[in-house]
């Protein structure tokens, strides 16, 4: 296994457990403990994790938003599958309001050659679409959140209020049926709430790691979106409960990216 693949595996493990051990990681990927220690040192230098005796822990404690740099390298295949399924729900000619986040960034990449109008709420996504030949790119105002580079504040809200969109594509920080969509940052929650208000329909992208969790700021009820796109790891009982409330739940697989 290549070093980049090992490091993605380590990051994925840290998303589902509070601590990883050198010995367990070495066994899981079939390499030496010395190699794993070097991988952990590399990831620690980038701020993705913190080394502890015998292993590593995430840099962000539970309930705190992990840094963009760690999220962008995690579960790439899953995010690409969810993004592909989401883009498949968009028709040419539609106007799209695109949330920030790492899965939304994958959506931006897939929209590059589509004949759509897009307003991305992230500098990362704007960069992906700035030279797209068929995309009509609308730039919002706002202030970029440090690290995230998502656009927030009164100017971003005013940009959305001046327009109406066919579809809003949201990527919440956490999601569960009782609490609905939630976000770590209050400004981000306000942006997501406004996205819903100015769009005819809403698609929510929430991979399995976000289900059954709640963050600080409430965005909307679980049954407010028209579609929720997730992956097979999302809890089946919650998927069923959501479908019973009238929300279409699309379970994306990696085959959809092929």
Judged against a pLDDT cut of 70, whether residue 86 lies above it is answered with: yes
Q: Which residue has the higher pLDDT, 39 or 66?
A: 39
What mean pLDDT is predicted for residues 221-236? 94
Per-residue confidence (pLDDT) for residue 14, from 0 to 100: 78
Instruction: Break the chain into its structural domains and give their ranges.
Output: 3-63, 76-257
| Mean pLDDT on 220-231 | 96
DSSP string, 23-87: HHHHHHHT--HHHHHHHHHHHHHTTSEEEETTEEEESSPTTSPPPHHHHTTSSHHHHHHHHHHHH
Q: What is the pLDDT of residue 4?
A: 81
pLDDT at 135: 98
pLDDT exceeds 80 at position 73: no
Q: Measuring CA to CA, how many Å separate 118 from each of 108, 128, 149, 214?
A: 9, 12, 17, 29
64 pLDDT tier (thresholds 50, 70, 90): low
Contact 234, 81 (CB under 8 A): no
- What global pTM score does this model have? 0.75
Mean pLDDT across the stretch 69-73? 60
> Span 76-257: which CATH code?
3.40.50.1360
Q: Who wins on pLDDT, 5 or 187?
A: 187
Task: Report whether pLDDT(130) > 80.
Answer: yes
Tell me what the mean pLDDT of segment 98-125 comes to. 96
Residue 75, pLDDT score? 67
Pairing of strands 248-251, 217-220: unpaired
Q: Which residue has the higher pLDDT, 39 or 68?
A: 39
| Structural element, H or E, at residue 137 | strand 136-137
Tell me, what's the pLDDT at 58?
73
The residues near 131 (Cβ < 8 Å, ≥ 6 apart) are none
pLDDT of residue 1 exceeding 90, the answer is no
Architecture, CATH, for domain 3-63:
Orthogonal Bundle (1.10)
- The pLDDT of residue 249 is 97
What's the rounded mean pLDDT across residues 226-240? 92
Q: Mean per-residue pLDDT for 157-181?
A: 95
Residue 62, pLDDT score:
47
Residue percentage of the chain with pLDDT more than 90: 65
H or E segment and range at residue 228? strand 227-230
Q: Tell whether the model's pLDDT for residue 63 goes beyond 60.
A: no
Q: Are 210 and 172 in contact (CB under 8 A)?
A: yes
**pLDDT confidence bin for 65, thresholds 50/70/90:** low
Task: State yes or no: pLDDT of 245 exceeds 90.
Answer: yes
């Amino acid at each position: 296994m290549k070093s980049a693949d090992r490091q993605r595996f380590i990051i994925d493990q840290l998303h589902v457990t509070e601590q990883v051990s050198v010995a367990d990681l070495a066994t899981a990927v079939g390499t030496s403990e010395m190699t794993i220690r070097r991988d952990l040192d590399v990831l620690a230098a980038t701020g993705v994790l913190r080394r502890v005796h015998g292993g590593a822990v995430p840099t962000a404690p539970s309930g705190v938003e992990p840094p963009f740099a760690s999220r962008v390298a995690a579960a790439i295949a899953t995010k690409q599958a969810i993004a592909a399924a989401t883009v498949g729900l968009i028709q040419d000619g539609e106007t799209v309001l695109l949330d920030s986040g790492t899965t939304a960034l994958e959506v931006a990449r897939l929209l590059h050659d589509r004949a759509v109008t897009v307003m991305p709420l992230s500098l990362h996504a704007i960069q992906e679409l700035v030279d797209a030949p068929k995309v009509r790119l609308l730039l919002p105002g706002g202030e970029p959140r440090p690290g995230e580079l998502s656009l927030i504040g009164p100017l971003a809200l005013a940009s959305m209020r001046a327009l109406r969109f066919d579809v809003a594509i949201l990527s919440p920080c956490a999601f569960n049926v009782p609490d609905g969509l939630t976000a770590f940052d209050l400004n981000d929650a306000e942006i997501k709430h406004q996205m819903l208000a100015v769009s005819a329909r809403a698609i929510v992208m929430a991979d399995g790691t976000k289900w059954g969790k709640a963050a600080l700021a409430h965005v909307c009820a679980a049954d407010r979106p028209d579609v929720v796109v997730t992956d097979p790891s999302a809890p089946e009982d919650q998927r069923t409960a959501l479908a019973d409330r009238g929300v279409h739940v699309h379970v994306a697989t990696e085959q959809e990216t092929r």
